[in-house]
């Protein structure tokens, strides 16, 4: 059965909703009177198509049909979900919601993207106020899972549960707030940071860039995985949450922020927070939480390394610093092409290194060999690079989280566009854990076709090949024999 959503208002938020519904297989009708709406929406949609499907390890359903409506009535008529994302002015919201209710099915869910208004504000002049709930998402809506759900006091519980389930079905994490309040929860927190940041800029304590760095290199990374309270629970350590909170009390009296209206952190409030924190995180010890936190941080920062961004860039720079300390290789021996520790994002929940990461280690090792030879794959100006056409991997023993491992690489042959390598992965004690035979082909970047590398590089490879010819060769070789069966 085809599912239909109507999007009323196609700005950054409405466009993000549209993309999320559409890419999750819903048919979508959009109403936006802006003559530029179609262009703007197609740009949001292009971003979403580029990033959302890859987030999953399974395929999204076929995209739904997108239809531009000329009226609200036409857009909402057959919709099971109607999302209102018109500008944040109450009279505009009222007007749109009235028109929506006049044409929509009484069973449809009407979500409002309002960041500030309460359901009672939105429903004030409506026939069926219980049909409208706040469904407040976060930009980019097609990627971030959070949606704050605040039902009207008159909403049926089954209706609210159906709305929550629909949001889950398009990959979101609905957070059901039990009490309505201006700006809900997340934007109140954001608003407080925003006000403090305005003071810091106004008073020339920090620039916008300083403030952004103070966020993204520190607590911002923590907050991607644990929030304020769970983080502080860990910081409190063995002494526990109540002890930690009691310490905080006096600080609240300090003139730290310009925003000085604060609640009394008395025994009642401390007790309430401690008990809620126990419910939230008490099933795990502080040590367990610390390890979970550290694993999350390492995995995320390594992901950012892959993007060469924020804290990931800091760690890449440290990698370069660490590599700079390594002595030049003895080219008469197999070359050390990796010396590293097995990181958490390479392991399964039992702490065993995933088999695909053996490939990654050997692939990195081949890159490192080329870098040592002076053929850095990070220099596209070179006009060409080696890619692996074929590889044969044998795993002999397991590596585990935090094990130190080492790879040495032997150059078997180099001729024309071909480069034939054999690498061995050893544990810290010297035990052989795995081997990889790799056949690389040099390709011209512009054409992506095979071509020999520059003569200077070929000469360098011949030189190493002649040195490595004296080394014992692997007993069996597999690559470069045949094309695979079709």
Range 432-461, binding its own copies (CB under 8 A): 432, 435, 445, 448
CA–CA gap between residue 203 and residue 11 (Å, rounded)? 34
Region 108-137 residues binding its own copies, contact defined as CB under 8 A: 116
Q: Which of 38, 78, 212, 463 binds its own copies (CB under 8 A)?
A: 212
Give min distance, CB of 281 to its own copies, in A.
8
Residue from 185, 246, 413, 467 in contact with its own copies (CB under 8 A): 185
Choose between 74 and 232: whose C-beta lies nearer to its own copies: 232
Question: Which residues from 398-427 bind its own copies, rule CB under 8 A?
Answer: 398, 401-402, 404, 422
From 92, 124, 269, 469, residue interacting with its own copies (rule: CB under 8 A): 269
Helix or strand run (H / E) with residue 45 = helix 37-55
CA distances from 138 to 106, 115, 143, 148, 373 (A): 27, 9, 9, 9, 47
Among 5, 30, 135, 234, binds its own copies (CB under 8 A): 234
Nearest CA-CA partner of 334 in 470, 434, 453, 477: 470
CB of 460 to its own copies, least distance (A): 23
Q: Is residue 280 a contact point for its own copies (CB under 8 A)?
A: yes
> Cα–Cα distance between 335 and 323 in angstroms, integer?
14
Please pick, from the candidates 106, 261, 381, 459, the single residue that binds its own copies as defined by CB under 8 A: 261
Give yes or no for residue 474 binding its own copies (CB under 8 A). yes
By CB under 8 A, residue 341 contacts its own copies: yes
Binding segment (CB under 8 A) for its own copies, from list 67-75, 104-112, 119-127, 342-350: 342-350
d(CA 48, CA 17): 10
Binders in 376-395 for its own copies, by CB under 8 A: 380, 387-395
Residue 191 as a binder of its own copies (CB under 8 A): the answer is: yes
Which stretches of 203-285 are DSSP H helices? 208-214, 220-223, 228-236, 241-251, 267-281
> Three-state DSSP class for 432?
strand
* Coil vs helix vs strand at 149: strand
Mutual orientation of helices 267-281 and 241-251 as an angle, nearest 10°?
Answer: 140
CA distance 114 to 117: 6
Selected from 91, 157, 254, 447, the binder of its own copies by CB under 8 A is 254
Min dist CB 60 to its own copies, Å, is: 6
Contact 7, 83 (CB under 8 A): yes
Interface residue with its own copies among 175, 242, 427, 454 (CB under 8 A) is 175
Is-cis flag, bond preceding 53, omega within 30? no
| Residues of span 145-164 touching its own copies by CB under 8 A | 145-146, 148
91 scored as a contact of its own copies (CB under 8 A): no
Instruction: Check residue 471 for interaction with its own copies (CB under 8 A).
Output: no
Residues numbered 302 to 321 that lie near its own copies (CB under 8 A) are 302-311, 314-315, 317-319, 321
How many whole angstroms separate alpha carbon 64 and alpha carbon 194? 38
Contact call for residue 227 and its own copies (CB under 8 A)? yes
Among 125, 323, 431, 449, binds its own copies (CB under 8 A): 323
Phi, psi at 449, each rounded to 5°: -105, 155
Q: Judge if the upstream peptide bond of residue 87 is cis by omega within 30 degrees of 0.
A: no
Question: Is residue 472 close enough to count as binding its own copies by CB under 8 A?
Answer: yes
| Segment near its own copies (CB under 8 A); pick from 1-9, 27-35, 92-100, 323-331 | 323-331
How long, in residues, is the chain?
486
Which tokens go with 189? 């927190």
How far apart CA 443 and CA 452 sit, in angstroms, is 8
Residue 85 CB coordination number (10 Å):
27
Closer residue to its own copies, CB minimum distance, 105 or 207: 207
Candidates 3, 38, 47, 450: give the one binding its own copies (CB under 8 A): 47
Least distance to its own copies from the beta carbon of 52, Å? 8
CA separation for the pair 484, 480 (Å, rounded): 10
Asked if 168 and 174 count as a contact pair (C-beta separation under 8 A), the reply is: yes
Shortest Cβ distance from residue 477 to its own copies (Å)?
Answer: 9
Applying CB under 8 A, which part among 65-73, 93-101, 124-132, 188-196 lies near its own copies? 188-196
Angle in degrees, 0-180, between the axes of helices 228-236 and 286-307, rounded to the nearest 10: 120
């Amino acid at each position: 059965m085809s599912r239909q959503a109507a999007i009323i208002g196609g700005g950054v938020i409405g466009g993000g909703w549209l993309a999320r519904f559409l890419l999750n297989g819903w048919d979508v009708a959009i109403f936006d009177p802006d003559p530029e709406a179609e262009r703007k929406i197609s740009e949001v949609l292009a971003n979403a198509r580029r990033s959302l499907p890859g987030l999953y390890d399974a395929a999204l359903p076929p995209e739904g049909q997108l239809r531009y409506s000329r009226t609200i009535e036409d857009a909402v008529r057959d919709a099971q979900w109607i999302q209102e994302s018109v500008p944040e002015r109450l009279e505009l919201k009222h007007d749109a919601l009235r028109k929506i209710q006049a044409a929509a099915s009484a069973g449809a869910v009407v979500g409002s993207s309002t960041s500030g208004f309460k359901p009672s504000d939105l429903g004030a002049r409506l026939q069926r106020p219980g049909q409208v709930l706040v469904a407040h998402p976060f930009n980019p809506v097609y990627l971030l899972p959070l949606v704050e759900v605040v039902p009207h006091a008159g909403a049926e519980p089954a209706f609210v549960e159906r709305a929550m389930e629909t949001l889950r079905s398009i990959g979101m994490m609905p957070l059901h707030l039990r009490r309505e309040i201006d700006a809900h929860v997340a934007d109140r927190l954001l608003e407080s940071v925003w006000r403090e940041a305005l003071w810091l800029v106004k008073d020339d304590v920090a620039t916008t860039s300083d403030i952004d760095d103070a966020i993204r290199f520190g607590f911002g990374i923590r907050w991607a995985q644990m929030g304020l309270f769970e983080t502080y629970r860990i910081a409190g350590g063995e002494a526990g949450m109540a002890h930690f909170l009691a310490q905080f009390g006096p600080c609240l009296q300090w003139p730290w922020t310009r925003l000085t209206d604060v609640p009394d952190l008395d025994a009642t409030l401390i007790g309430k927070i401690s008990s809620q924190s126990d419910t939230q995180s008490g099933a795990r010890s502080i040590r367990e939480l610390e390890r979970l936190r550290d694993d999350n941080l390492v995995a995320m920062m390594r992901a950012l390394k892959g993007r060469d961004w924020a804290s990931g860039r800091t760690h890449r720079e440290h990698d370069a610093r660490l590599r700079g300390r390594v002595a030049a290789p003895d080219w008469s021996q197999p070359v050390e092409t990796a010396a590293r520790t097995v990181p958490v994002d390479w392991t399964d929940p039992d702490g065993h290194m995933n088999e695909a990461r053996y490939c990654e280690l050997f692939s990195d090792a081949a890159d490192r060999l080329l870098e040592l030879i002076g053929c850095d794959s990070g220099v596209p100006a070179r006009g060409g690079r080696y890619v692996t056409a074929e590889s044969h991997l044998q795993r002999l023993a397991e590596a585990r989280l935090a094990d130190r491992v080492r790879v040495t690489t032997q150059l078997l042959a180099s001729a024309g566009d071909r480069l034939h390598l054999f690498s061995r992965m050893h544990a810290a004690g010297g035990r052989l854990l795995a081997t990889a035979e790799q056949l690389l082909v040099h390709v011209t970047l512009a054409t992506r076709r095979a071509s020999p590398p520059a003569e200077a590089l070929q000469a360098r490879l011949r030189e190493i090949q002649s040195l490595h010819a004296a080394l014992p060769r692997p007993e069996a070789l597999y690559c470069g024999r045949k094309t695979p069966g079709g």
